[in-house]
Amino acid sequence: MHVTPDSVTAERDRLRDRASVVVPLLNDTRAALAEMFETEVASVTEAQYRREIDLLFADGDRAVNVAALAGLLRELDVEGDYPGFVVDELLGRQLAATIAGEQPLALLAEATFHFADTRSHGDDGDPAGVDDLDAALAAGIQTRLPGWSWRERESPFAVDPADTGRDDSDSTER
């Protein structure tokens, strides 16, 4: 695999073009998780998905990693499939986390990847990694996007940096 700015752009275009496959999986995953956690979550449109892919690829450092992981998954096929199960799961999990961003979203995307992967089934004749690619895209993008109530509020654990509870006057400096 040779990754260049042009190949990263081409990968972005391929991922954008998967909207018709990824968005239904993403929304199915969101709906199932919402039911499990007894909450409501907004669905995602193909336009939102494509916009999020564009934003993702606007970060060059992240884009090159997403492009490489997606390319590996798209091409990955292991004779007999099961021996490749571990590597496509590893790559899919990492792709979902890379798409989602920093913690705790990266970890949530990894967990969601496994859930989405159970709902993703590639077309006959596709390499084994393609359904993992779709599950990773669904998990990573759905994690990045708003729509979950817990993401719409301020965290009750945020500490005001000005509220240290101690006196930091310069009494010890001379």
Question: For the segment 101-155, what is each residue's pLDDT rounded down to a tens digit?
Answer: 999 999 999 999 989 988 777 666 666 778 899 999 999 999 999 888 777 778 7
User: So what's the pLDDT on residue 173?
Assistant: 55
- Tokens encoding 166: 């101690």
Dihedral Cα 49, 50, 52, 57, nearest 10 deg: 140
Mean pLDDT, the chain, integer:
88
d(CA 71, CA 76): 8
* C-beta of residue 22 within 8 angstroms of C-beta of residue 49: yes
Contacts for 142 with CB less than 8 Å, ≥ 6 apart: 26, 29, 30, 44, 112
pLDDT confidence tier of residue 172, bands split at 50, 70 and 90: low
Q: Which amino acid is at 135?
A: A
pLDDT confidence tier of residue 159, bands split at 50, 70 and 90: confident
User: So what's the pLDDT on residue 81?
Assistant: 61
User: So what's the pLDDT on residue 107?
Assistant: 95
Indicate whether 60 pLDDT > 80: yes
Indicate whether 5 pLDDT > 60: yes
Other residues' Cβ atoms within 10 Å of the Cβ of residue 133: 30
86-110 mean pLDDT: 93
User: So what's the pLDDT on residue 167?
Assistant: 63
d(CA 81, CA 96): 21
Cis bond before residue 104 (omega within 30° of 0): yes
pLDDT confidence tier of residue 156, bands split at 50, 70 and 90: confident
pTM for this structure? Answer: 0.86
Q: What would you report as the CA-atom Rg of the chain, rounded to the nearest whole angstrom?
A: 19
**Segments making up each domain of the chain, as ranges:** 5-151
26-52 mean pLDDT: 94
Length of the chain: 174
31-39 mean pLDDT: 92
